[in-house]
Chains A and B, each alone.
Chain A
Amino acid sequence: MKLTLKIWRQKNAKAEGKIVEYPLDGIDEDMSFLEMLDVLNEGLINSGDLPVSFDHDCREGICGSCSLYINGEAHGPDRKVPTCQLHMRMFKDGDTIFIEPFRAKAFPVIKDLVVDRSSFDRIQQAGGFVSINTSGNPTDANAILVPKHDADKAFDAATCIGCGACVASCKNSSAMLFVAAKVSQYALLPQGKVEATDRVLNMVAQMDAEGFGNCTNTGACEVECPKGISLEYIAQMNREYLSASLKG
């Protein structure tokens, strides 16, 4: 396969960036998208250029490191996969591919395609936990029954990999799907319910403070989410928030 890549290059957080075009040949359709970038980088290094920086780690779709905006979509044209599981067979010989970093005020670019998503960590630090002592002696795991339906729903929310595709895809750069997944996971379980009021208020306050936009229910996040997290969780968080505001 022969491709034309148009990649966002930016030296550091303060520098201005721009799109740079790279022709690339000899791409196999069995390659993953990131392996295609490996080939590009190997070529750049060998010709004395600087390779393109991009975040990646597990390359099996679970760590949430990869964060590329490919041809106008978070994680590219395939569904229910992050960038690392996108394969070149989704493209055609001769294609032009735009590769940009995830964009949001709360995700500033560090270099090239690498962005800073520590805002997600800070939202979790504001309340994304159950306040129990790790060094304590909790009750037996089977002492509190949890209906299978609730456990499964909590699990579905908890599969979020924190990649930020929801923010990147949202025209408003809203982080609602990410925050809703965490809030809902705990709200659905008896262990998390105890702190549900403070949790949702604190996490939403932190989300707003980080400079994410407002949700306008376009649904783009749900479509682009590599784990298929449902908009239902956003509705659930809205309910949680409303009742918490009235209580709190």
Chain B
Amino acid sequence: MAKSALLKSSIAKKVAMALSGLFLILFLAQHFFINSTSVFSADVFNSISHFMGNNPLVQFVIQPILILGVIFHFIMGIVLEYQNNKARPINYVKNNGAANSSWASRNMIITGLVVLAFMGLHFYDFWVPEMVYKYVEVNPLDETRYFAELTHKFESPVRTAIYSVSFVLLSLHLWHGFNSSFQSVGFNNKYSRSLHTLGYAFAIVVPVGFIFIALFHHFNH
């Protein structure tokens, strides 16, 4: 008799982890795209931001899914870490993990938790004020406020520094996570080599881009 138990088995969990991760990667890509416009044109940035902030599909369908995705990815990550720690009750006295695996792959929980903490700050900085602005105080629509809000946040050198460091850890998280997701869903074939290159490029370009944007606004305004 087959003992199928979809979300209980180890493989199902890692697939779920991979799929939610890939979804967050997509979100990250679009987020990066929108933010990068702020470097070139305040107007373009404002109009896209306005669309994202007021389109009902984005606001009431995609945004909740995204939030659920983040929560799911984070809870699942904690659960897996807990189980994985249980699988080795006594640790090695001497362990040389660097001999066979990358630091990033062994420390996803650390990079993940830092990114999570960063997201708390990020929500506090942007998302919470935005929600208050729109749905609590119910202020009138203002298509031009987004750029100013953005640059205002990056006046603080402390915040800019925290953001930059967080992005470095996000980079490490992506360094392993991007390619790992494909392996988890069973994608490992002759195209994997090219995909790996793409994954590593993504893991560097996007976080470095975010850091650039933060620094750009910090020093330009």
Contacts and interface: CB of A to CB of B under 8 A. Distances in A.
- The reply, when asked whether chain A contacts chain B directly with Cβ atoms under 8 A, is yes
Contact of A211 (B87, B96, B100): B87
B61 interface: no
Nearest to A102: B92
Given A106-B87, A205-B9, A245-B12, A231 B95 contact: no
A173 B88 CA distance: 6
B10 A216 contact: no
Contacts of B83: 213-214
Contact of B96 (A71, A204, A231): A71
Contacts of B14: 214-216, 238
B100 A213 contact: no
Given A73-B96, A73-B99, A174-B10, A231 B188 contact: yes
A72 B93 CA distance: 8
Interface residues of A, number: 54
Query: Which of A69, A171, A173, A197 counts the most chain B CB atoms within 10 A?
Result: A171
Query: Which of B90, B187, B189 counts the most chain A CB atoms within 10 A?
Result: B90
Contacts of B106: 171, 218
Interface string A209-229: 001111111111001100000
Interface stretch (B47-55, B164-172, B178-186): B178-186
B141 interface: no
Interface string A18-35: 010000000000000000
A234 B183 contact: yes
A204 B10 contact: yes
Contact of B93 (A73, A100, A205, A218): A100
B54 to A, nearest CB: 39
Interface in B74-110: 80, 83-84, 86-97, 99-102, 105-106, 108
Contact of A242 (B5, B80, B108, B185): B185
Contacts of B3: 201-202, 205
B148 to A, nearest CB: 42
B57 interface: no
Contacts of B188: 231-232, 234-236
A236 B180 CA distance: 14
Interface string B1-17: 11111101111111100
B99 A223 contact: yes
B176 interface: yes
B113 to A, nearest CB: 15
A201 B94 contact: no
B91 to A, nearest CB: 7
B100 A214 contact: no
B11 A204 contact: yes
Given A213-B87, A236-B186, A248 B11 contact: no
A246 to B, nearest CB: 9
